Amino acid sequence: MIEKRMKRFAYICLVGIFILIGRLAQIQLIDTENFAKEQINLLEASVRQRTQQVVVDNGRGTFTDKNGISLSTEPLSVLILFPFLKEMDWDVERVANIIGTSREHLTEQLEKAKDPFVFRDDGPVVLDDWQVKEINALQIPGVFAVNKQFERPGQYASQLIGIVGENEEELKKRYPDRNFSNETVIGITGLEKSFDPFLIQEEQTKLLYHVDGKGGPLFGLDVKYINPSNPFYPIKIITTLDFPIQQKLEEIADDHRMNKGGIVLLDIESNTILANVSRPKIDEKDPYRNDGLVNYTLKPQYPGSIFKTVIAAASIDYKLITPSRTFDCSKTIHGEEDDVYDHGILTFQESFAVSCNNTFATLAEELAGIDPNVIETYGDAFGLIDEVGWKGDVFHFTDFTQLSDEEEGQIFLTDTEKTDAQLVRLVGIGQLNVKLTPLAVANMMATIGRGGTRYSVRTVDRIEYENGSKFFSFPMDEGEEAIRPYTAEKLRQLLREVVVNPQGTASALQDLPYEVAGKTGTAETGIFVDDGNEQFVNRWFAGFFPYNDPKYAFAVVQLDARKDSSSPISITRDIVEFLYEYDQH
């Protein structure tokens, strides 16, 4: 009996030993990189447990403006200290003197440290070249002056550039055939998302040392500097942005307390984005809060009278306009007396300058009577319905798009709207279901400014290797004639009349150093405040300048604004004055 129990116990022990051996084999030999259902990389976890490190450069590609100024990160020379210095006798006084701080301030931060850290005051203490050389010449283990990448402060073009983050599920979905660390960051929004296949990190540059269970040095005080030393990576994305312009337009938006809206500025010759501002800003602590990640220049909005530009173009081509034809601008679009705007009888040109609703509601109804699709056809010709960002083939990526967050605009939602006279009249003044993106509106103004040829909008000029050699260039497309040169010239004159006519809705811009041409717009949003006494509106101004030799096209929009909010006209004034001064240097 005892013998049977002993055999049974021995058998159980033997099975347990085999299970334990199998488990150890699974952990150490078989599933080392994808252990358990969580797919844990045991090799990485083991290394992390036995090392302390500072990542100097995470290896992800970066963005620069067109002149090479970094947009997403900036390299700073900083002092890095390792916590084992607390147990050493080292020349604290000498290091403190070199960086211009006190011994006490330096040791205070060190005493609190459990991991390697960047020495800080209000922010990272930035070192000069001579300070870097002096510190590293001391050759003190655990004391390093290095060039480290930091996120650029100030949030410039942050919604356009986008954010990155860790997402294991999305990482594996995007790159099923590549073996990335689960801690690899990927682009979540903006250009970071669009260009993620090129930007995704390969190897990190870091300082590290091995520790024992108590956090002490395992193999002495040998701190290793690991640098992939790859002359080609990480990749650099050279955008079309102009950093000083971007920086100033951000300041202008804040000066005018733009709570929600955006500014987009295009270079007409190259049809590229020079600056892109969106509000509200991204909350750095909680990026998903308050729509801070939304780039409102790429989202369709109610345009109001901005859309009258499209009606004007179609009316010119369909010869609905004659020098002698006049319109009753003391009436609303429903034929009633207008209690707010009583402009009397006006010509077509005068109607455009004062933005007479009845004129363009009438013309829209006449156009729909000729062809129910004509309004949509002209909107499409201007690129207001489809996405206008650059698309094309990039190596094995077919239909690659630079602006992955861009959305399409809309004019009519149903065919019924095209044949209902009252609904068409609302469409004629940019209401009902008309929604356009500020980028598409700015592109329409660029098309008019250059004489009728429409191009797609580029935000990135090229991709470069780390050593500066070219990886890929995004060519300007061949373009297509959106409207006839004759029509474009007539529209140019109409847009200028908005500014030079004393009664024009943008007459406040007459005295600027650059002659501006453009169109205002105020659109009802259907959102009421103050117990229904006031409705939020979208306030627009879009156009181009200088008038005789167009260089810039733009769109400024204040979304969900009150009547007493800062006017897009005032914002435009500041933009034009700045660019005039900027161009003189």
Active-site positions read 305
State whether residue 297 is helix, strand or coil. helix
DSSP β-bridge partners for residue 558: 261, 539
Tell me the one-letter amino acid at 72.
S
DSSP 366: H
- Other CB atoms within a 10 A radius of the CB of residue 104 amount to 9
Half-sphere exposure of 519 (CA within 13 A, CB side): 33
Question: Cα dist. 441→302, 356, 363, 457 in Å?
Answer: 11, 20, 21, 12
Tell me the one-letter amino acid at 147.
N
Q: Which of 248, 87, 116 is nearest to 583 (CA)?
A: 248
Euclidean distance between the first and the last CA atom of the chain, given in angstroms as a whole number: 103
- The residue with tokens 């373009």 is 479
> CA 220 to CA 24: how far, in whole Å?
30
- Other CB atoms within a 10 A radius of the CB of residue 396 amount to 7
b/e map 448-465, b = 16+ CB within 10 Å: bbbbbbbbbbbbbbbbbe
DSSP class per residue in 505-548: TTGGGTT-SS--EEEEEEEEEEEEETTTTEEEEEEEEEEEESSS
User: How far is Cα of residue 574 from the mean position of the Cα atoms in its chain?
Assistant: 22
Token digits for 382?
């201007």
Question: Is the distance from CB of 343 to CB of 329 less than 8 angstroms?
Answer: yes
Dihedral sign (CA 312, 314, 320, 322) = positive
Spatial neighbors of 86 by CB under 8 A, at least 6 apart, are 110, 111, 113
Q: Which long-range contacts (CB under 8 A, 24 or more apart) does 416-425 make?
A: 418/368, 418/372, 418/373, 418/375, 418/376, 419/368, 419/372, 421/365, 421/368, 422/334, 424/364, 424/365, 424/368, 424/375, 425/333, 425/334, 425/361, 425/362, 425/364, 425/365
Dihedral sign (CA 311, 536, 576, 269) = negative
DSSP 28: I
DSSP class per residue in 56-96: EE----EEE-TTS-BSSEEEEEEEEE-GGGGGS---HHHHH
